[in-house]
Chain A
Amino acid sequence: MNSGESGEEKTLNILVLGVGNVLLSDEGVGPRVVEGLSNGYQAPHGVELVDGGTMGFDLLPYLDERTHLLVVDAVNTGKEPGHTVRIKLDDPASFFRTMVSPHQLGLGEVLGVAAMTGNLPPSIVVIGIEPASLETSIDLSPVVEKKLPVLIKMVVDELKSLGIILKPTSDA
């Protein structure tokens, strides 16, 4: 499942994966951050930005051969709406919520299967935000909308810490 280029620079292979449902307000913050990154920056070699929507197993191939996975999602932190978090996952599969059966399909199960088949990226970081609204709407709540640039910067900084500089499109 090699998605393309291989060769000289095999060192970093980073997936920035925004997940969530864009029809349910802040649940869609992950895809909205990816959209903001895609529109505002040029993703250099070694970084792929993917709007994962609410997909399950379809996402498995995107994890192949990654050195780093950055998940952007709404996170239930128990803090006030708009509260942002950066969580380094040491035990990814158990982080995601447990289900009644062994086979609910969410990101947790996708990572669980990846762990079993040896496709789990060695480094996984979640960039998240506490949602204010999960109502049916294609708009983010004002609280989370205002935090979009913060979330985007958190991803940019995370990549910077790995030695990757995202160039704003306007500079090109």
Chain B
Amino acid sequence: MAKRIVIDPITRIEGHLRIECEVDKGKIVNAWSAGTMWRGIEKILEGRDPREAWIFTQRICGVCTTVHAITSVRAVENALKLEVPMNAQYIRNMIIAAHGIFDHIVHFYHLSALDWVDIVSATKADAKATAKLAQSLSPWPHNSHGNIKGIQDKLKSFIATGQLGVFGSGYWGHPAMKLSPEVNLLAATHYFQALDYQRRINKVVAILGSKSPHIQNLAVGGVSNPINPDSQSTLTLERLFYIKELIDEIGAFINDVYMVDVSAVGAFYADWTQYGAGVTNYLSVPDMPQDTTGTLFDLPGGYIPNGDVGKFENIDSFGADLFKNNVKESVKHSWYEGEWDRHPWEEETVPKYAERQDDGKYSWVKSPTFKGKPAQVGPLANVLAMFAAGHGPTKKHATRVLDLVSQLAGTKVGLGALHSTIGRHAARAIRCAVLNDVLQKQWQGLVDNIGAGDYTTFNEPVFPKGEIRGVGFHEAPRGVLSHWVVIEDGRIKNYQCVVPSTWNAGPRNQNDELGPYEASLIGNPVADPEKPLEVLRTIHSFDPCLACAIHMLDSDRNEIVKVRTVI
């Protein structure tokens, strides 16, 4: 008899995601992914000035602020066929890369490592043995016995107070937790160090974005950062060199800590390369434009059908037909008026809630398709595309991770292992290292361009009479983000955001095919339906984030999350 598990919400970030699974004989046999909140940014933007859309879109989400801002200006620029000055591209690219690094590090250490790492077990470790292990794996200078012992003592005293705080509701001692106390302690040590490094890289966003937590330096047509090497109030050489220092520091952390930890977790949980593949049509987009028109990119992107890297199709420019003509969204299983399957420019957003039905409407998230098929997006999709495109830094970092995993696991692990729950974590680390290389390059590009006397950062947009349409895309930390805008007489007529978590968390599509979250859960083991840690592992490997942030305080301290097992 199949059991049904309901986890609501499952997202670690503000936003509500509900997963329902049917478990039979210890394995998941069916799954439904549902976004439980309606996101109506499109309604807010209708009739507004396209130049201010980015200010609103960056408030959609608590984590993806800059990514919505950047994609929004790109959509309007695409509609206007407006060129963007090189300095503006470099500054935007640096913000994108720094934000991506920040996001990947926080996701691994603070949002998902605890699915794999048992913090309570770490207190029982031999700190000397942990230090020895750490030093055998990496030259990182902060793996000393003293550093590690310090963190262990801190954890012990924390746990002794009975206040586990952020670790309070973990599944400690769960049978699916397999790391030795020493490896758990090493991961816990780096959990704390990562807190420090994520702050450093976020400073790059704050300096360039003029303000954090929400950046203020964007404009349709460029950026508003004035560049004048002689003025204190602008982007000076002193600030640029401080940014360089931060990039170097974070690069060491990524290469000597993050990449190594991901490899170790991957090697010790090698069985998880067998689970969680799900939808293996992969979609990503190129990013880091290296010209003013968006036809030359530092990072490639494109489409890979059926996990076949040999069938890679390259997306070669902003607004490329391959991307523009092949995206559709279906509302057959979503709480909107109608049963349609439409191109984003032709969509409408008319919510219509009805009772949840397994084979009817059950989610607020629409179901996007590429070439009529569901597609998985995210770092894995992007790494596979970059690999297929022959991107040098991607090949270098991917090879390093796979070699390290092979060495630790004592068996040869190839690229194919990436099509899995644990593979998504490895791909995210690889992409993080690639982003750091790119960040270095963008920094140099900006410094050289300023050195050559180019201080331009903005081209004035002019809106024509009549209707124009644009699409902006960005390879965000969670994958392909696209904004679709229809502008009439200089005002927004239609605006649709097709966000990464829509691609991955979407419900069944027009042909009733499962979305990536749903498909990835089929066949996953579940040791204890009351503590469905395995479900969390697979869903969290996507870095779930529903772009509809809401977080409210509750003065009664009510438990809001429910894990229910229904016969």
Q: Which A residues contact B (CB, under 8 angstroms)?
A: 1, 19-24, 27, 50-61, 73-78, 85, 87, 93-107, 109, 112-113, 115-117, 126, 128, 131, 134, 136-138
Cβ–Cβ contact B561 & A100, under 8 A: yes
Is the pair B63, A56 in contact by a Cβ cutoff of 8 Å?
A: yes
- Digitize B526-549: 1 where CB-to-A-CB distance is under 8 Å, 0 elsewhere: 000000000010001000000001
* Secondary structure type dominating chain A contacts: mixed
Q: How far is the CB of B46 from chain A (nearest CB, A)?
A: 12
Candidate in B165, B166, B202, B558 with the most chain A CB atoms within 10 angstroms: B166
Q: Are B14 and A105 in contact (CB-based, < 8 A)? A: yes
Which residue of chain A has the shortest Cβ distance to B63 in the bound complex?
A56
Determine whether the beta carbon of A57 is less than 8 Å from that of B555: no
Say yes or no: A117-B551 contact (C-beta < 8 A), given A23-B44, A99-B12, A105-B111.
Answer: no
Residue in A closest to B11 when the chains form the complex, CB atoms: A104
Q: Is the CB of A102 within 8 A of B170?
A: yes
The answer to whether residues A102 and B168 also contact, given A23-B44, A55-B62 and a CB cut-off of 8 A, is yes
The answer to whether the Cβ of B384 comes within 8 Å of any Cβ in the partner chain is no
The 3 A-B residue pairs with the shortest CB-CB distance in the complex, in nearest-first order: A54-B62, A136-B40, A54-B549
Task: Say yes or no for B317: interface residue by CB 8 A criterion.
Answer: no
Chain B residues lying within 8 Å of A85, measured Cβ to Cβ, are: 555
Q: Is B408 an interface residue (CB 8 A)?
A: no
Interface size class of B (residues with CB under 8 A): 35 or more
Residue pair B552, A76 in contact (C-beta under 8 Å): yes
Task: Give A155 Cβ to nearest chain B Cβ, in Å.
Answer: 16
B169 x A101 contact (CB < 8 A):
yes
Q: How far apart are A33's CB and chain B's nearest CB, in angstroms? A: 14
CB neighbours of B198 from chain A (8 A) = 57
Considering only CB atoms, which chain A residue lies closest to B58 in the complex? Answer: A53
Residues of A within 8 A of B552 (CB): 27, 73-76, 97, 131, 134
Instruction: Determine whether the beta carbon of A100 is less than 8 Å from that of B169.
Output: yes
Contact B65 A109 (CB under 8 A): no
Instruction: Report the separation of the CA atoms of residues A94 and B111 in the bound assembly, to the nearest whole angstrom.
Output: 18
Say yes or no: A107 contacts B44, CB within 8 Å: no
Q: Which residues on the B side are within 8 Å of A96 (C-beta)?
A: 553-554
For residue A103, which residues in chain B have a CB less than 8 angstroms away from its CB?
12, 110-112, 114, 166
> When A102-B167, A117-B192 are in contact, do A53 and B14 touch as well, CB less than 8 Å?
no
- Check B60 for interface membership: any CB of A closer than 8 A: yes
Q: A53 to B13, alpha carbons, bound, how many Å?
A: 14
CA distance A162 to B451 in the complex (A): 50
The answer to whether residues A112 and B550 also contact, given A53-B59, A54-B61 and a CB cut-off of 8 A, is: no
